[in-house]
Structure 1
Amino acid sequence: MTASMPLLDLDDGEAVTAADAEGLLRAVAMGGAQIRSTAAAVADGVLGRLIGFRPRSVILIAGSGGARHAARLAIALAGNSIGAPLLVLEHTPSWAGPLDVVVVAGDDAGDPRLVESVDSAVRRGAEVVVAVPDEGPMRAAAAGRTAVLAPRLYVPPRHTMTRFLAVFLAVGAVIEDRSPHGRPWEALDRVADAVDAEAVRSGPGREVFGNPAKSLATRMLGHRVVVCGNGSVATVLSEYASAALLASGISAAAADLSDVIRGARMLYAPRAVGGDSVFHDPFFHDPQLDGALPGESVRAFVFTTEADQADTRRRMDALADADLVVSADDDQSDPGISEMEQVFVLASRVDMAAAYAQLTGGA
């Protein structure tokens, strides 16, 4: 068996659309709509109970998948700007009380851990925000006693991370808003616009050249992939990228850029496979049994923000094969985009790239 080849030409927009029977690309393109619906709920006053509240702590309790990645990204992004400790915990702690805010997020309204966390937080008198579908056991636990930020449109759980991140950041923005006529949801509207613009740039109708998501997927195919980040925000984002790629069939290791640099000597060393043997026949090579062919080299994809781009480029010189991944087109600096917008744009791009990789046959 030879190494797998792409089954689909990404430059053929009609073929890509026809191959997307599961609606992967459409689900990713709804990222902006998810963020905008969260902003609309905040504008409608769902989080009005938190206005002017000065909590002792803000506790994030996340279900599996996207909610957990979103919680970690929220801490990396906003942990230093919120005037209360921002914590990620598995359950509502025994010390939680009326001075605390508990945010429970997940895709499963029947998850016992999330339901128990809401019930416990309410009984202890904490301010509770629920970002879980308003149905089943969760509806009974949260009814009339919490601020409910349930999804207003359905998106498969694989693509809900951006909504959870928007919820976590919205809670922090409302708590930190000091102006009497503040509009903390406006930042999310700008983020939604940026994510929508990214969806247009990465749409199936655009060719690989000039399409950041297709280009990213193309550069990954045929390589052993390592995704890493320079800085705490970029590193957490790379961990989410690893999970998104894994769901598409690409096994991608995630690490901090410093760890990848330290392991570069072994990482880029030639693999000891049977390719040099006179008895090796590539036609009968099975990647699952025999390992990758010598041609399947390691390629690192380094995520970074605009502020750290120059430092990241300098550090990448230590890697034999590495691509820089930033939010701006053509790797050019764009000082007008906030760090929060950059994170959402890159998360959307990774989701779209993973969908394209899956449609072309994955690994």
Structure 2
Amino acid sequence: MIADTPVLDLDDAAMLEAADTGGALRSAASGGAQVRATAAAVAENALAGLAGLQPRSLLLVSGAGRAGRAAGLLVAALGDRAGLPLVPVSTVPSWAGPLDVVLVSGDDAGDPRLIDAVDRAVRRGAEVVVAAPNEGPLRAAAAGRAAVLEPRVPVLDANRLLRYLATGIAVLRAIAPARSSGDLPDLTDLADVLDTEALRDGPQHEVFHNPAKNLAARTQQRGLILAGDSPATTELAVHAAEVLLQSGGRTATAVDLSVAVAALPQLVDTATAAAPDYDPLFHDEQLDGPPPVEKKRIFLCSTDNDSPAARRKLALFGGAGGGTIDADLVTADIETVPADPSRAESGEPSPEPPTHAGTELERLAVLALRWEMTAAYLRLIGGRAVAGADPDRYDGGPY
């Protein structure tokens, strides 16, 4: 038997849905719903206190998990295009004051660091936004003194990045609408884009037409290296590696593309030294068993609008290691028209929807959702039940 044979077939939609008793696919596909919930809170004037401000900086205080990763992604994606300094900090610095806005994000309403950050920022006269559960000590610290964007869509821990990303976008659109509007997507439009991606990645679509299933299939029986070709995509690669580990139980290394290129000679030497006589051309896994070397696959995450240019970055990996090392490009084509699920159910071919480039944050969000869906599929085909699905905070359910 070949090692790591999947328990379920990725193309068996009925079996995948039956196995997903904990709602892993639904949770991973809820990125659009989380963004839309944030947009609804903004429409209800949750951030009305920020209107007309021209702050000196936006301080990002984040708890552990997806909140910190979302802050890093926002800073890496916008850089100096945000219209004001974005400052990720572990606590509110001594220089913070009435000229600053402080965004405190996290999952734990009892986290002493988040509670202290809210208290310090309020006492120093800064405008404070809290993106966390409105309960416990954090609720007491923020009561009447801070804007609160509490979670409205329950999801698993690994699938919360897009909610925090949406919160950061909402705050920036409120305090710097003119200075960074070209780089900040409208939240409703972003939610539509993510819903379209979730439909494309749904279990009813076969591997060939399903980006997330295709990624899951390409990770099988491979050592995984996730690379980014920019600071933002490298941050995304780290998020993908963490989600693959937390949700899919797969280990992957996340690095900048330059690190992967520099390590290529060592990867080739390791592969050839382990089995100097191995030739993938004459090795039949059905007859000869698993290959005597660990094959490695490099996934380059890119938001480059020029796909041919992005693919050229992988040319160095072509044919390296005698077939034991290969590389794939992971990029996002944003569809402008949602896919029609009724066509998929009836078996009718769907016309190719038109695409557009979108903002960098839109493309990053699409890739984040795709990797989260990939991790959910890897969990299901590996036969693992959803761990940590607390019915008090996540209702699970089918896709």
Same fold flag (TM > 0.5): yes
One-letter identity of the residue aligned with 1:201 = R
Q: Would you say 1:307 and 2:305 are equivalent positions?
A: yes
CA RMSD of aligned residues (A): 2.6
Per-residue CA deviation, residues 266-323 of structure 1 (Å, 9 max, x unaligned), is 123316558989xxxx9xxxxxxxxx96343110000101325333211210113100
One-letter identity of the residue aligned with 1:323 = D
Cα drift, residue 102 of structure 1: 0.5
Structure 1 match to 2:196: 197
Structure 2 match to 1:322: 327
For 2:310 and 2:276, how far apart are their aligned partners in 1?
35
For 1:303 and 1:165, how far apart are their aligned partners in 2?
18
Indicate the SS of the match to 1:9.
Answer: coil
For 1:85 and 1:362, how far apart are their aligned partners in 2?
46
The answer on whether the counterparts of 2:185 and 2:362 sit within 8 Å (CA) in structure 1 is: no
Are residues 188 and 100 of structure 1, via their aligned partners in 2, closer, same or farther at CA, if it must alter by over 3 Å? same
Give me the TM-score of the superposition, normalised by structure 2. Answer: 0.81
Cα drift, residue 96 of structure 1: 1.1
Cα drift, residue 333 of structure 1: 11
The answer on whether the counterparts of 1:306 and 1:333 sit within 8 Å (CA) in structure 2 is: no
For 2:142 and 2:68, how far apart are their aligned partners in 1?
21
In the TM superposition, what are the counterparts of 1:192-271 in structure 2 within 5 Å? 192-247=191-246, 248-269=248-269, 270=271
Which blocks of at least 5 consecutive residues in structure 2 are unaligned? 279-284, 321-325, 336-352, 385-399
How high is the sequence identity, in percent, across the aligned residues?
47
Pick which of 332-341 and 2-11 moved more: 332-341
One-letter identity of the residue aligned with 1:361 = G
For 2:213 and 2:369, how far apart are their aligned partners in 1?
12
For 1:118 and 1:362, how far apart are their aligned partners in 2?
42
The answer on whether the counterparts of 2:169 and 2:184 sit within 8 Å (CA) in structure 1 is: no
Structure 1 match to 2:109: 109
Structure 2 match to 1:287: none
Indicate the SS of the match to 1:96.
Answer: coil
Structure 2 match to 1:298: 296
For 1:221 and 1:155, how far apart are their aligned partners in 2?
26
Pick which of 292-301 and 222-231 moved more: 292-301
Are residues 362 and 81 of structure 1, via their aligned partners in 2, closer, same or farther at CA, if it must alter by over 3 Å? farther
Cα drift, residue 134 of structure 1: 0.5
The answer on whether the counterparts of 2:241 and 2:252 sit within 8 Å (CA) in structure 1 is: yes
Indicate the SS of the match to 2:316.
Answer: coil
Of the three residues 379, 382, 385, the one matched with 1:361 is 382
Q: Would you say 1:337 and 2:358 are equivalent positions?
A: yes
Give me the TM-score of the superposition, normalised by structure 1. Answer: 0.89
Cα drift, residue 13 of structure 1: 0.3
In the TM superposition, what are the counterparts of 1:1-363 in structure 2 within 5 Å? 3-178=3-178, 187-247=186-246, 248-269=248-269, 270=271, 272-273=273-274, 294-319=292-317, 320=320, 321-328=326-333, 334-361=355-382
Per-residue CA deviation, residues 191-222 of structure 1 (Å, 9 max, x unaligned), is 10010001111011111110100000100111
Per-residue CA deviation, residues 213-233 of structure 1 (Å, 9 max, x unaligned), is 000010011100000011122
For 1:244 and 1:313, how far apart are their aligned partners in 2?
25
Per-residue CA deviation, residues 154-200 of structure 1 (Å, 9 max, x unaligned), is 11221100000010111111111149xx9x99711111001000111
